[in-house]
Structure 1
Amino acid sequence: MFSPEEPRLFAVPPGVDFPAAVVAGLRARLQGQPPEAMARVTLYLNTTRMRRRVVQLFGQQGAGFLPRIRLVTDLEPDIASPALPPAIPALRSKLQLTVLIGRLLDNLPDLAPRSALADLAESLSALMSEMQGEGVTPDRVAALDVSDHSEHWARTREFLTIIAPFFADDHQMDTEGRQRRLVLMLADLWSRTPPADPVIIAGSTGSRGTTALLMQAVARLPHGAIILPGYDFDMPEQVWQGLDDALTSEDHPQYRFRKLMALTGTAPADIRPWHDTAPPSAARNKVVSLALRPAPVTDQWLIEGPDLLDLTVAMEGTTLMEAASPRQEALSIALILRDAAERQVPAALISPDRVLTRQVAAALDRWGIRPDDSAGVPLNQSAPGRFLRHVVRLFGQKLTSDALLTMLKHPLTASSMDRGQHLLLSRDLELKLRREGPAFPTGPDLIAWAMVQRNAHALGWATALAGALDGLAEAGPVHLADHLARTRTLAERLSRGPAPEGTGRLWEEAAGEAALAFLTQLEAEAAHGGTLTPGEFRDLFEGLISGEEVRAPMIAHPGIMIWGTLEARVQGAELVILAGLNDGTWPALPPPDSWLNRKMRMDAGLLLPERRIGLSAHDFQQAIAATTVVLSRALRNAEAETVPSRWINRLTNLMAGLPDTNGPEALRQMRARGQLWLDRAAAMDRALPDPDAGLRPARRPSPCPPLTARPDALSLTRIEVLIRDPYAIYADKVLNLRPLDPIRQAPDARDRGTVVHEILECFARERPPQEDRDAAHARLMQITARVLDASVPWPAARALWAARMQRLASHFLTVDAAEGGETILVEGRGELVLQDLSFTLFGTPDRIDLLPGGKLHLIDYKTGSPPTEQAQKSFAKQLHLAALIAEDGGFKGLGPQQVAKITYVGLGSSGKVTEDEITEDKLAAVRDGLYHLIGSYTRLGQGYTSRRAVFTERFPGDYDHLARFGEWEMTDTPDPQPVGRGASHDA
C-alpha cells in the first residue's frame, strides 16, 4: 500500500472534504487488492463525528469490508499487556483541587478572593491535565527560574508542588495522563513487534503532546502513514523554515505541521497529496495562504502578491458581510440559510459564538426551519439547569422579593398543580410585594397575605411555599454532600408545589434527565469536596454545570447545519458561513493563566497560549476554502465598536494593496454581495410594505377626556405635576394607572425622604417643654435609630442614613430654633374647596408653627435641593397653596389664620434654606393662578399635554413610555384628541 523507502506523511489541502478524501484515497490505493485487504487496515481518527462520517461514506459506496476504525483516544484494545487503572473522573479531580486551593487561600488570602475558588480549581485541573498529557512533571515546574518574575509567580510555583501526589500515584492519573501511558506502551510494543498491516492516523494536527507521540510511533512503522487535514501546499519552503520558533509562529495555522515534521524528520517537500481531489478554488487558497503568512515575512505580499491571478475571479465565491449589530448579522445569516434551504443547497454556519448561533436559530424558526446544531443546548441554559441555579442562589442570604418572584415564575415551580392557578397567585403576590413590600419576605408574611385572599388555593399554596423557603438565610458552611442534599430537597419541593409528594416535572424530558444525571454524578463524588460556604458552593455549582450540554431529540432540516469550529474540520457543505469574525470572538483571546505565565510555560515545555489562536487560524483556513463562503461580522456589539478578526484584516489589507490584480475591485464586490443581504434584513424589520414609508411616529399627545372623567380633587404636590406634565395626571387620575415599584426593592431617594420625614415628624410631635439644644440633638438621634430599625430593612442603608442624619442634625436644629415658634400641627391635612369649579385642593404640610406674633409659619422638608425662587413662581407652589388653605381655615382645629412666611428646608449636602414672606398680594396672585389652572381643565377642548413645561429632557416621567416620548420632540405642537366614551372630534 505504501512505498517503504519514501516518507509516509500525506495531506489534504484546505477546502477538500477531508473524510471523503480519506475514503477515496483508501479505495484508490487498494484498487485491485482482495476485498479483505481493506479489513486489515487500522484507521485512527480524531473524533467520533469523523468516524461516523467515514462509516457513512463507506456505506454509500456499496457492500464491502470496512477498515478497523478506531479513535486516537481508544488504544487499549491494541495492547495485550495488563490494563492500567482507570482514570480518575475529572469531576473528582476538580473537587479535590477545590479543597487544596481553599487551604492555600486560607494561608495566602491576598493571592485571590475566595469567590475565585471554583475558577482556580477549574484552571488548575486543566493545567494538571495538560502537564500529564505533555509529560511535564511537577519537578520540572518546581525547577523553573523565577528570579526575573514577580513574587506572585514564585508563590504559585511553590504551591504547585502540592499536586505532586497526583503524578506519583498510578491511581491518580487523569484521562490525559492515562492516554500518554497507553501511547508509550503501544509505541514500545510496536518497536518490538511492528504490525504487518497498514496503520493510518487521519485528521489530527498533532497539537497535543500525547497525540504527537502516537503520530511519531505510527510514522516509524513500516506500513504506517499520517494524513494531515488542511495542509497548505502553496506555502514556499523558506516560509516553512521560518515556523521553527514557537514564540513567533505558534499562532500560524500551519505551525503544528511544521512541528510534526521536526518530530518525524521530514521536510515540506516530503508531504504528498493523499488523493488527487482538487480544492473548490485553488486560486482563493493561494490568496488566503499569502494573507496568513507569519508577521515577520508579510513583506512577501509585495513580492508574491502581483503574481496572483485576477482577484475578482479568485474571490468570486466569497462574500464579506459587515452588519451594524449582532442582531442584523443574525437576521442576515438566517436569510442566507433560508435561501439555501429553498434552493436545496447544503449550507453550514460555523462560529464559536454560541449566542450568535442561537440568535440565528431563533430567526430561522419563524420559517419553520430547525437547523442541525452540533453543540446542543448548554445545560445551564435549559429549564432544569436554570431552575437549579436559582435554587442554589437562595441559600445563605435573606430572601428578596425578586429572588422569590424569579422562582415563582419559572415554569418548573409548582409544576404538579394547575399552572393557571399558580400564575394567578404569583401575580397577586407580585402586586402585593411591589406596592407594599416587604423587601425581604418571610414565610409568615406569605401566610398572612394568603389568609386575606379570596382564592381558595392561596393558603395551601403559600403554606407549602413558606415551608420550603423556611431557614434559607441561616444556611452556613457545610460539607459539599450536605449542600447537594438540601439543594435536591429544596428543588424537588419547589417543583412539586402544594402536592404532598413527588418531584413535579423537574427531572422529565431530555434536559431534566441530563440535570438529574449531573446532580447524581456530583453527589457520587461529593465526598472529595470538603466544606464550603453557600457562596463558594454557588460558584462551584455554576462553574460545573456550565460545562454540561443537552442534546434534545429533534427533527432537523437535513441541509441546514450549525457547527462549531471542530465539527467543521470533518464535514463538508457547499455553502459555508463564517460568522462572528471579530477579535476576541474568533479568534478568542487566550484565557488568563493564574498559575504559570507565558515564559514559565515555555521553559517547562507546556503549550503556549497562542496555540488556541493557531488552531482557530487553521479552522479558518480550512473553512474559507469551501465552494461558496460568507465572511460575516458585526461592526458594533452591545458595548462598543468591534475589532475585525486579524484574518479579515490581513485579507482585506492584502487585497486593497493589489490594484494591478483588481484587489480593490474584488473587495468592493465582496462587500456589495454582503450588502445585498444586509439590505434584505433591514427590509424585513420594516413594518410597512412600502420601504420608503417607514414607521409613522406618534404625535405629541394631549388627550381630552370627558369632563365627568376628569379629577375633581388634587393634592398640593400634584398641582405641580398638573403644571409641568398634565399627561401624568391624565394617566393617574383618569386611566387609573399607577407605576409599580421595581421587583427588587432597594433603598432609593424616595425611601430616604419618607424615613427622614417620619423622623422629623416624631421629633416635632414628641418635643418636651424647655428642651435645650444638646437634649434635642440626643433625642433626634434616638428617634433616628428607632425609625431606621423599624422602617429600613437594609443594614447598609441604615448605617449610611444614620451617618447623614448625624451630619445634618446641627443644621436642622439651627433652622428649627431660628424663628422661636411653637409647632401646632405636624402632617395635618387641610382642604380648600373651589366652589365655582367643584374642585377640592388638599394636602398635608410637613409642619406648621405659630410664631410669637400670632401668625403661621409653614415648613416643608426637602431631602434634595429646595425649589428656587423662580421655580416657586412657575410651578413649585406647594407651600403657597398650603398658605391659601390656612388663611381660608382649611386645617382642622386651626381656623382661618394669617400666614407670615413659608420655608423650604433643604436636608441635602448643601443644607440650603429658601424662604418667602407671604403678603396679601402674593396670595391673591396664587389664588387667581389656581382658579385659572383648574378652570382651564373644565373646558372640553383643553387636553392633558405630555411634558408641557418640564424644561429638561431628563425630567423623570413615569408615563413617558405610554406617551411614546422620543417619537416626538418637546418642541412639537400638542395634538388634542377627544378620548373616552362619547368622544367626538367636533366637540
Structure 2
Amino acid sequence: MPLSESLSPYDLIAQQLLRDHPPPDLRHVVILLPNYHVAQPLVQRLAALSGVSALLLPQLTTFTDWVQNVPLTQAVVSDSARLASLYQALRKQGWFEQADLWALARELLTLMDELTRQHVNLPKDEAAFQAQLEHAYQARKNNALQFEARVVHELWHAMSSSSELDGVAAYQQRLATLAAQASAPLYVLLTSDLSTPETRFLQVYAERAPVRIFDLRVLAAGDVEAQTLSSSNPLSTFDLRLATDFSLFPAHGLEQEAQAADLQIRRWLLAGKRSIALVAQDRLVARRVRALLERAQILVQDETGWTFATLAVSAVLMRWLEAVQGDFYYQDVLDLMKSPYVFADQPASERKQAVYQLERLLREHQVSARLEEFQRLAESDELRHALLRLQQAAQRLPTGREFTLTGWLERLEQSLDSLGVLTGWAQDAAGRELLQLLAEWREELADDRSRFSFGEWRRWLAQQLDLNTFRDSSVESPVVFTHLAATRWRRFDAVLLLGCDADHLPGDLSGGQWFNDAVRGALGLPVTAQKVQQVQDDLRGLLALNDTVLVTWQETKNGEPNLLSPWLELLRVQLQDDLIERELAPLLERGQVQPEPSSPLQSLTMPQPAAPAKLLPIKISPSGYNTLMACPYQYYARYILRLDELDEVREALDKRDYGTWVHEILQRFHGERPQLSGLPRVELEATLARISDEVFAVAVQHDFLAHGWRLRWQAQQAAYLDWQLENEQNGWHFAAAEQGYQLAVDDDLLLHGRLDRLDTQADGAQRVLDYKTKDKNSLTGLLKQTGEDVQLASYAAMSESAEATFVALDDSKAVVNVQPEQAMDELAALNLARLKEIFSQLRAGTTLPANGVDKACEYCAMKGLCRKGWWAAE
C-alpha cells in the first residue's frame, strides 16, 4: 500500500516504538532525526497513540548534536586555521602563481576532508600514488598528471602528519566513542544513504544495542515495517510509487514563473492551507517570488538564508575596503556614506546632509578620487567632520603593510568603530551575527602567525562572507522557503517546487577540479552518481510524504526551449499523463492590469504642460534660454520642476575638460599681458607656454592622458597669438574676462550670465568674445538660422555691446571669429523682446510642448519623462 494511502510515517514510527518499549517511560530510547522539524509531529503521534496521560519522551536528536556531547581528549583545530595553513603552503611552493589561492585552498581542504571522511589513506610513496592515478585515469605518465599527484600527495601528508585533530576526524572519533558506549535502543529516520562514518557507526552500535531503521524509500514503496539493522539484513531501496496531487506548470520566462508561484501560494492560503513550502531550485526566481509575496504583505520564513556576501551589512564592509584600497574612488565613498550603517552613532540627518554636499561638490568640481581632494572642497563642518572620520578610520588599515589574519581583523574592527558601523550593526540582527562571526574568526586564528598583505586578507574575508549564511529567525509565516535536503521526513499542506528545469534539478554536482569520477571511485571518494542519487532520494521522499505538489519551470528561456528535469519528465511518461496545471495560466492573464485608454501610460499625444505662474523662475541664463528655444518641455522639467540631474563625474578626460583648461589659460594670460602689441614675440610665447604648462600640470597629476590635450593646445598657441595681435591692430583690446552681468527683461525676470571675455575700442565700443573649442563650420551652423542660438545676442544685450562673436579654437592652423550676419544690436533687441513675450505667455498659462527636434533630444536627460518614444512613433 502506498504511504499516503496508509498511516502517516509518524504513526508507523510511533507504533513500532510503543510496541518495542511500553509507555510511559521512553527516556532510555534515542531517536536520530534528519532535522528537528520532524520532532513535533513525531512527539504528537507518540502522545496520541501511547494511551497514557503523561509520557516521558525519548531523546530526539541529530547525528551532529548527539556527538557534540562526547568529550575529546585533545583540542580541535578550526577549519579557518587549517585553510590559512594550506594557503601558506601553496604560496610557499609557488605552484599556482596566477590562481586565486584562497579558492584553491578551500577546494583542496574539501578534498582532504573527503579523504578523511572516507577513511582513505594515500600511499606514502609519491610514485605509487602517481601510478594509482595513471591506472584510474587510464592514461600514460604526463606532466599534468604528475603535477596533480604531487600537489595532492604532498599537501595530504603535510596536513595528515599534524598531531592536531580536525573537524572531520573529531566527528569520527566522537562517533566511535558513542558506538563503544552503546546501550540505548536506537531508532534512525533515513531518506538516503548515510555517509561512511555514520554507516560504520550504526554497524558497530548494532553489535551492542538494538538499532531500527525507518527508511522512507522503503516505507514509500509499501513495506511499513521498520528494518532491523544487521550484517544479514542490509538496507535496500525500492522504487517509489507516487500518490500525490501532483501537477506541472510550464512558464514562459522568469516573470511568468514567479507570478504563477505568487498566485498559487495566495490561492493555497485562501483555501486555508497553513503550511506551505516553496522548495527553490532556482534562487533567482525565488527572489522574485519573495518580492511579489512581500508586495502582497505575505511574509516569508526563509530557511535557506542568504550568504553574508549578499547582505547590506557586508556590502558596507566590502565597500569600505574597496574605498581604502582604491584611493577613495568617489563612487565607493558615496555608496559608503549613503549606507545607514555608516555614522550610525550620529543623527541620520547629518549623514544625509554630508553625503549630499559631497556628491554636489564632486560633480561640480569633477573630482573622482583622493580623500585629500574631497577635504579641500569641503564647505561645511558636517562634511569636514565626516571626511575626517573617514581619514581616521583609513589610518587603521595600512594597505602597504602585512599582518596576521587576526591582526587585520582587529584593525578592521577599530576602523569600523571609527566609522560608527559597529553601532549600526549592533541594531541589526544580521549585523550582530556578523560581529559574532568576526569575533569567532579572531579567536580561531589567534595562534596563526602567518602574515598576509591587505589584498590577500581582503580576498580571504570575501570568501569567508560567501561561505557563511544568515537566516532570519524573527519571521514566522505559513509560507516557508527551503531547500530539498531540508524537507526530509517533513509534511506540508502544499509544496511548490520552483525552477525544476534540467539545469537546476539535480544541478551541478561535480566534484571540483581535482580528480574525475573514475579516480574518485578508485580512491573510494563519493562520485557524481552518488550525489545525484541523494538528491533523487530527497525528491522522492518529498513527493511521497506530501499530497499537494506543484512543479514550475521555464519552458522557454530567452526565447529558447528549456527542458524539464529528466526525473520529472520520466514521471510524466510513467504515468502516461502530461500532468499540466490548467487553471493558473488563464488566471494570470486575467490578473494582468490593463491601463485605461485615458491613462497617461497609454497617452499617445505630445506632453504640453502649463506651468503655474508661482513656479516660473525669476532668473534665466543664456543656456537656459537656449534650452527653452530647443524644447519648451525640457526647460519645464529642468528649470521649472528642477528635475535636472547632477552632472556625472567624468573619469575620462574629454573636450569639455579641454575647454575648461583653455578658458583658464587665456584668462590668466590676458590678466598678465592685457596688451600684446609692442612686446617681444619670444616673451609672449614664453608667458603663454608657462601658464599653459602650469594649468596642464595640475591636470596631468589626475590623468596622464591630459598630455594629449596639452600637445593639442601647444600646436594652437602660435595661431592664437597671431589672432590676438591682429585684433589689437584692428583697435580691439582686452578689457575683462569671466565677468558676470545681468539685465532686467521685465519686472519679474532677470537675464544673467558670465562672459568669457570683453574687448573694447578707444571710442568705448565693446565686443563680447565667447571661446569655443569647436571648428568654424560647426559654429557657423549654429548661427545659420536667425535667432536659433541666443547665446551671443544675450551676452551682447547684458553687456550693452555692439558686437559679439564666437572664437573658434579647434583648428591649429588658425583662430577665427564666427559671428551672425545680422546686426548685433538689432538681434539682441529682438532676442530680448521674444524672451519677454514668451514669459508673458507662460504667466498667462501657455503650455510648454515637447516639440524639440531629434538633435535636441539626443542627449536630453528628460527623454524618459516626456516618453517621446511612445507618442512620436504613433
Paired position in structure 1 for 2:225: none
Name the counterpart of 1:333.
Answer: 261
Check 1:923–1:415 CA distance in 2 against 1; reply closer, same or farther (3 A cut).
closer
Instruction: Determine the structure 2 residue equivalent to 1:351.
Output: 280
**Shift, 1:729, TM fit:** 2.5
Question: Which region of structure 1 is more displaced relative to structure 2, 465-474 or 624-633?
Answer: 465-474
Alignment-derived partner of residue 484 in structure 1: 409
Shift of residue 131 of structure 1? Answer: 2.1
Equivalent residue of 1:158, what SS? helix
User: TM-score of the superposition, structure 1-length normalised?
Assistant: 0.69
- What is the match of residue 113 of structure 2? 129
Judged with a 3 Å threshold, the aligned counterparts in structure 2 of structure 1 residues 697 and 172 are, in CA distance, closer, same or farther, namely farther
Q: Does the Cα contact within 8 Å between 1:829 and 1:845 map onto a contact in 2? A: yes
1:945 counterpart = 2:819:
no
Amino acid in structure 2 at the alignment position of 1:593: G
How far residue 170 of structure 1 moved from its aligned partner, in angstroms, is: 6.2
Instruction: Verify the 8 A CA contact 1:201 1:227 in the aligned structure 2.
Output: yes
Q: Aligned match of 2:19 in 13, 16, 31?
A: 31
Q: Residue 651 of structure 2 corresponds to which residue in structure 1? A: 746
Q: Structure 1 CA distance, aligned partners of 2:524 and 2:24?
A: 44
Q: Kindly indicate whether the alpha-carbon contact (under 8 Å) linking 2:392 and 2:418 is maintained by their aligned counterparts in 1.
A: no
Aligned to 1:790: 698
- CA drift of 1:576 comes to 0.4
Aligned pair partner of 1:163 in 155, 166, 181: 155
Distance 1:831 1:468, change over 3 A: closer
Residue aligning to 2:169 = 177
- Select 1:579's aligned residue among 498, 512, 524: 498
Is residue 342 of structure 2 the alignment partner of residue 413 of structure 1?
Answer: yes
Q: Which residue number in structure 2 is paired with residue 399 of structure 1?
A: 328
Amino acid across the alignment from 2:551: L
For residues 120-150 of structure 1, what are the alpha-carbon distances to aligned partners after superposition, in whole Å with 9 as ceiling and x for unaligned?
2322222222221123345486552386698
Q: Report matched runs for 1:121-270 at 5 Å.
A: 121-139=105-123, 143=131, 144-145=133-134, 154-165=146-157, 167-169=159-161, 171-180=163-172, 199-206=186-193, 208-214=195-201, 224=211, 226-230=213-217
Cα displacement (A) at 1:24: 1.1
CA–CA separation in structure 1 for the residues paired with 2:668 and 2:373: 32
Structure 2 match to 1:101: 90
| 1:544 CA drift (Å) | 1.1
Structure 1 position 810, deviation (Å)? 7.3
For 2:152, the aligned partner's letter is: L
Q: Specify whether residues 827 and 330 from structure 1 end up closer, same or farther in structure 2 by C-alpha distance, changes over 3 A only.
A: farther
* Counterpart amino acid of residue 723 in structure 1: M
Query: Which residue does 1:678 correspond to in 2?
Result: 588
Does the aligned pair in 2 maintain the 1:42–1:68 contact within 8 Å?
A: yes
Identical amino acids, percent of aligned pairs: 15
Distance 1:222 1:465, change over 3 A: closer
Instruction: Note the C-alpha offset of 1:828.
Output: 5.4
Tell me the residue number matched to 1:627: 547
Per the alignment, residue 871 of structure 2 pairs with 969
For the residue of structure 2 that corresponds to 1:91, the secondary structure is helix
Q: Which amino acid aligns with 1:959?
A: M
After superposition, the C-alpha distances for 1:578-634 in whole angstroms (9 at most, x for unaligned) are: 113345544443478354455554554433456555443443344345311222235
Offset of residue 101 of structure 1: 3.1
Cα deviation code 1:913-967 (max 9, x no counterpart): 99897674697997798578646625346533335113486x1212334x34257
- Secondary structure of 1:504's counterpart equals helix
| Paired residue type of 2:453 | T
Q: Distance in 2 between matches of 1:905 and 1:467?
A: 46
Distance in 2 between residues matched to 1:833 and 1:718, nearest whole Å: 15
**In structure 1, how many angstroms separate the alpha carbons of the residues matched to 2:12 and 2:440?**
43
Moved more, 44-53 or 761-770: 761-770
In 2, Cα distance between equivalents of 1:265 and 1:863:
94
Does the 8 Å contact 2:802/2:824 carry over to 1?
no
Deviation for aligned residue 1:538: 2.1
Between the two structures, name the one with larger relative contact order (CA 8 Å, sep ≥ 6): 1
Of residues 86-95 and 841-850 in structure 1, the stretch that sits farther from structure 2 once superposed is 841-850
Unaligned runs of at least 5 residues, structure 2: 223-229, 728-732
Whether the 8 Å contact between 2:130 and 2:146 is mirrored in structure 1 is: no
Asked whether the 8 Å contact 2:191–2:217 carries over to 1, the reply is no
Q: Report if the CA contact (8 A) 1:847-1:860 is conserved.
A: no
Q: Tell me by how many angstroms 1:486 deviates.
A: 1.5
Match for 2:78 among 82, 89, 98? 89
Structure-2 separation of matches of 1:135 and 1:847: 90
In the alignment, does 2:426 pair up with 1:507? yes
Q: Tell me the alpha carbon deviations over residues 874-894 of structure 1, each in whole angstroms, 9 at most, x when there is no partner.
A: 69966x963x689x69779xx
Aligned match for 2:863, one of 956, 960, 969: 960
Instruction: Tell me the distance in 2 between the aligned counterparts of 1:176 and 1:85.
Output: 14
Alpha-carbon separation, structure 1, partners of 2:602 and 2:661? 47
Distance 1:857 1:741 in 2: 28
Task: Tell me, in whole angstroms, the C-alpha distance in 1 between the residues paired with 2:377 and 2:794.
Answer: 41
User: Do the aligned residues in 1 keep the contact of 2:10 with 2:41 (CA within 8 Å)?
Assistant: no
The answer for the alignment partner of 1:535 in structure 2 is: 455
Question: Structure 1 pair 381/708, CA: closer, same or farther in 2 (3 Å)?
Answer: closer
Hey, what's the Cα distance between the residues in 1 that align with 2:313 and 2:122?
40
SS at match of 1:576: strand
Bigger shift: 316-325 or 810-819? 810-819
Q: In structure 2, which of residues 477, 480, 485 is the aligned counterpart of residue 561 of structure 1? A: 480
Deviations 1:956-985 (A, max 9, x none): 212334x3425743367xxxxxxxxxxxxx
CA distance in 1, matches of 2:854, 2:287: 43
> For the structure 1 residues 613 and 695, does the alpha-carbon distance in structure 2 shift closer, same or farther, using more than 3 Å as the test?
farther
The one-letter code of the counterpart of 1:623 is: L
Alignment equivalent of 1:118, drawn from 102, 107, 112 = 102
Q: Which amino acid aligns with 1:787?
A: V
How many equivalent pairs are there?
Answer: 835
> Structure 2: how far apart are the matches of 1:950 and 1:935?
27
Asked if the contact 1:444/1:466 (under 8 Å) is kept, the reply is no
What is residue 707 of structure 2 aligned with on the other side? Answer: 802
User: For the aligned residues, what is the CA RMSD?
Assistant: 5.3
CA distance in structure 1 between the aligned counterparts of 2:57 and 2:832, rounded to whole angstroms:
98
What's the counterpart of residue 729 of structure 1?
Answer: 635
After superposition, the Cα gap between the structure-2 partners of 1:556 and 1:161, relative to the gap in structure 1 and judged at 3 Å, is same
Q: How does 1:716-865 map to 2 (within 5 A)?
A: 717-718=623-624, 720-742=626-648, 746-747=651-652, 749=654, 752-758=657-663, 761=666, 765=670, 786-791=694-699, 794=702, 798-803=703-708, 805-806=710-711, 808=712, 812=716, 816=720, 822=726, 840=751, 844=755, 860-862=771-773
Superposed displacement of residue 522, structure 1: 1.1
What TM-score, normalized to structure 2?
0.77
Give the distance between the partners of 1:651 and 1:592, measured in 2 at CA: 24
Deviation at 1:518, TM superposition (A): 0.8
Write the letter of the residue equivalent to 1:721: T
What per-residue deviation string (whole Å, max 9, x for no partner) do you get for residues 807-864 of structure 1? x4576468658879647659656979798998858664589999xxx99997854479
Q: Distance in 1 between matches of 2:272 and 2:655?
A: 61
Aligned residue identity for 1:739 = E
Letter aligned with residue 192 of structure 2? T
Matching of residues 304-383 of structure 1 within 5 Å: 317-320=246-249, 322=251, 324-326=253-255, 329-345=257-273, 346-354=275-283, 356-366=285-295, 368-376=297-305, 378-380=307-309
Q: 1:735-759 CA distances to partner (integer Å, 9 max, x unpaired)?
A: 44542235x7734647634555357
Q: Which runs of 5+ in 1 are unaligned?
A: 1-11, 236-262, 285-315, 497-502, 973-987
Greater shift after overlay, 547-556 or 819-828? 819-828
Residues 547 and 13 from structure 1, CA distance in 2 versus in 1: closer, same or farther, beyond 3 angstroms? farther
CA deviations over 1:502-558 (Å, ceiling 9, x no partner): x6353356434422321111111234273222232222112212333344543613x
1:334 match: secondary structure? helix
Instruction: Quickly say closer, same or farther: Cα 1:732–1:373, change in 2 above 3 A.
Output: closer
Of residues 519-528 and 746-755 in structure 1, the stretch that sits farther from structure 2 once superposed is: 746-755
Distance in 2 (CA, whole Å) between partners of 1:17 and 1:694 is 59
